[in-house]
Amino acid sequence: MERKRIAIVGIGLIGGSMALQLNANGIASNIIGVDASPAHLQKALALGLIDEAMDLDKAIANCDVIALAIPVDKMIEILPSILDKVNDKQVVFDMGSTKHLLIEAVRNHPKRKRFVASHPMWGTEYSGPEAAVKGAFENKAVVICNASDSDEDAVAMVRFIYKKIGMHQIEMDAYAHDLHAAYISHISHITSFALANTVLEKEKEDNAIFELASGGFESTVRLAKSNPNMWVPIFRQNRDNVLDVLNEHITQLKKFKACLEKENYDYLLELIENANKIRRIIK
Amino acid sequence: MERKRIAIVGIGLIGGSMALQLNANGIASNIIGVDASPAHLQKALALGLIDEAMDLDKAIANCDVIALAIPVDKMIEILPSILDKVNDKQVVFDMGSTKHLLIEAVRNHPKRKRFVASHPMWGTEYSGPEAAVKGAFENKAVVICNASDSDEDAVAMVRFIYKKIGMHQIEMDAYAHDLHAAYISHISHITSFALANTVLEKEKEDNAIFELASGGFESTVRLAKSNPNMWVPIFRQNRDNVLDVLNEHITQLKKFKACLEKENYDYLLELIENANKIRRIIK
């Protein structure tokens, strides 16, 4: 396939990592960065993530493909106006963590079919262009949602890009995606935020506690460093699913609490043995 | 210091990793493995973790130092009988995750002063001798508890070993240790176990969910693979502290729940910004 001019809107953790992969795989002839932050654009140029910085309208006018990697509330705000400006050859796709409301927002847009909704399942707790990671998406899953609502050539282009950067692809309805994302990604962030707040609450009384922080603690709490401006809109857009999972999680925690209160250590052993079944899933 | 004959009782994740460090640092002339499982001993010999396998009594009779790395319930069971058999030159120390009840169990033992209570703050979710990791303890913290209850030469020997394997040492009262361990280590395991059970509960309805498992999920849930026979005794011995922390954690989670229920996204942002302060602690 001929190399494409690709605009990346939002040149932070996800957009920057995508830029690195596109560069490494020879998919793009030019990578154009668009970002609300001039400092981010300067950094992205300095790091060699992008070839050129442009404002959004100029980037739309000059690119074959427009990839969106901005917080999901901003995504809903600007996707309709981007679609207003694309022609029947251009392709727009997003890389956000929620899908249903975004797809709803452009359901009746005359250019809906030029848009492909996707979610590459990778991230870290860091943000900004300096957080970009080379090879980040390799061997990870990407979900493509409601593909039948997009033009075939647009889906083919997005599939081509994700294939070239090494992701395995899953098609899924937007509702199913959002439910699964709540279980696989969103709840992990809430538990980490809450665990950090639990320990920080304690730290007020006792500073010595952190001299001891160990590997297990770092691993479970590292997501608590994640950017609130990215995560509040995700939780907001996926509120019902996140609430369901959070209620289930609190129920599960209360089982551990009840075991300890009642000194029922046989049941505690059972709960942990059941949790061990996660070995089937994560190696 | 002259090389010592060192017995390691429990040649699994912790004992095996200690054996690797002792070998690498030339502290031991001989490393003697003791384990209830003949298969573990065979494995430890095959992996070169230990020079020789012995039963406990023979090992006590033949070693200068006896290091205990067994589940904390077993520790309480056998420590008094080990102290019954040591002379005034031998040193016994433990590497368990709880301290108060173990120290209580030998408070009035005539050989109490030959025992040093310690907790090297490292572990993984794996167990058995094949889980041993070289260099595991380097640059991690070790807590030495109630050192004034031990003979000075015994404390000096244990400090010498931990120093040689690269750990920085913290002295702490056993009560304080157990409280801190609840916040820094034990609660992380409960949240991981409960998160695994939350997602496994969902999986009963929908097998597809795990195709999507991402790095963030793996990181928060990996401790859920931890050995129940190690962890139930820890939670049991540290019940009051773990219950306090667990109650606080459930309270923190309910704040997130209330934000979502009431759609109070300003307060949700505040909660996450507060959680971000964990950056001060973990880099």
Query: Given pLDDT bands bounded at 50, 70 and 90, which one contains residue B282?
Result: confident
Chain A contact for B160 (CB, 8 A cutoff): no
Domain boundaries, chain B: 4-173, 177-280
Mean local confidence (pLDDT), B146-150: 98
- The percent of residues in chain B predicted with pLDDT above 70, rounded, is 97
Helix axes A72-85, A228-237, angle to 10 degrees: 80
Task: Report the complex ipTM.
Answer: 0.93
Q: For residue B25, how far is the Cα from the chain centroid?
A: 21
pLDDT of residue B210 exceeding 70, the answer is no
Q: Which of A119-123, A208-212, B182-186 has the lowest mean pLDDT?
A: A208-212
pLDDT of A8:
98
DSSP 8-state symbol, A201: H
Q: B74 is written with which tokens?
A: 């077993």
Please say whether the beta carbons of B144 and B118 come within 8 A. yes
**Per-residue confidence (pLDDT) for residue A1, from 0 to 100:** 72
Task: Say how far apart CA B38 and CA B51 lie, in whole Å.
Answer: 15
Is A224 in Cβ contact with B278 (below 8 Å)? yes
**B41-46 contacts at long range (C-beta below 8 A, 24 or more positions apart):** B41/B11, B43/B128, B43/B129, B43/B130, B44/B11, B44/B16, B44/B19, B44/B129
pLDDT at B97 over 90: yes
CA A148 to each of CA A100, A102, A106, A112, B139: distance values in angstroms, whole numbers, following the listed order:
15, 16, 14, 11, 54
* Confidence (pLDDT) at A283: 67
Query: Does residue B208 belong to the interface with chain A, where contact is any CB pair within 8 Å?
Result: yes
d(CA B10, CA B74): 10
Determine the residue of chain B that is closest to A121 in CA distance: B214
pLDDT digits (tens, 9 = 90+) for A40-51: 999 999 999 999
Q: Do B212 and A187 touch (CB under 8 A)?
A: no
Q: What is the residue-averaged pLDDT of chain B?
A: 94
Q: Do A224 and B275 touch (CB under 8 A)?
A: yes
Cβ of B180 within 8 Å of Cβ of A224? The answer is no
The reply to whether A133 touches chain B by the CB within 8 Å rule is no
Q: What is the pLDDT of residue A94?
A: 98
Q: Is A115 on the interface with B (CB under 8 A)?
A: no
The pLDDT value recorded for residue A206 is: 67
Tell me the pLDDT band of B205, cut-offs 50, 70 and 90: low
CATH pick for A4-173 out of 3.40.50.1970, 3.40.50.720, 3.40.50.2000, 3.90.79.10: 3.40.50.720
Q: Identify whether the C-beta of residue A218 lies closer than 8 Å to the C-beta of residue B185.
A: no
Tell me how far apart the alpha carbons of residues A199 and A65 are, in angstroms, rounded to a whole number.
45
Per CATH, the number for B177-280 is 1.10.3660.10
- Whether the per-residue pLDDT at B85 is higher than 80: the answer is yes
Interchain contact A276–B (C-beta under 8 A): yes
Q: How many residues does chain A have?
A: 283
Average pLDDT over residues A100-127: 96
Distance CA A13, CA A136 (A): 10
**So what's the pLDDT on residue A220?**
87
Q: Average of pLDDT values for B264-279?
A: 96
Type of residue numbered B119:
H
The residue of B17, B144, B189, B214 whose CB has the most chain A CBs within 10 angstroms, and thus the best one to mutate to test that interface, is: B214
pLDDT computed for residue B135 by the predictor: 94
> Does the pLDDT of residue A160 top 70, yes or no?
yes
- Residues A129-148, mean pLDDT to the nearest whole number: 95
Inter-chain contact A247–B235, Cβ cutoff 8 Å? no
User: For residue A267, what pLDDT band results from cuts at 50, 70 and 90?
Assistant: very high
* CB proximity list for B206: less than 8 A, separation 6 or greater: A180
Q: Is A258 on the interface with B (CB under 8 A)?
A: no
Q: Could you give the 3-state DSSP secondary structure of residue B83?
A: helix
d(CA A86, CA A107): 16
pLDDT range class, residue B174, cuts 50, 70, 90: very high
Q: What is the mean pLDDT of residues B212-233?
A: 88
Q: Do residues A150 and A171 lie in contact, with contact meaning Cβ atoms separated by under 8 Å?
A: no
Any CB–CB contact under 8 A between B266 and chain A? no
B34, pLDDT greater than 70? yes
CA distance A227 to chain B (A): 8
Contact A188 B217 (CB under 8 A): yes
Going by pLDDT thresholds of 50, 70 and 90, the confidence category of residue A204 is: confident
Q: Three-class SS string for B21-43?
A: HHHHCCCEEEEEEECCCHHHHHH
What lies within 8 Å, CB to CB, of B35 at 6+ separation is B9, B10, B11, B12, B15, B41, B44, B53
Span B40-67, pLDDT tens digits: 999 999 999 999 999 999 999 999 999 9
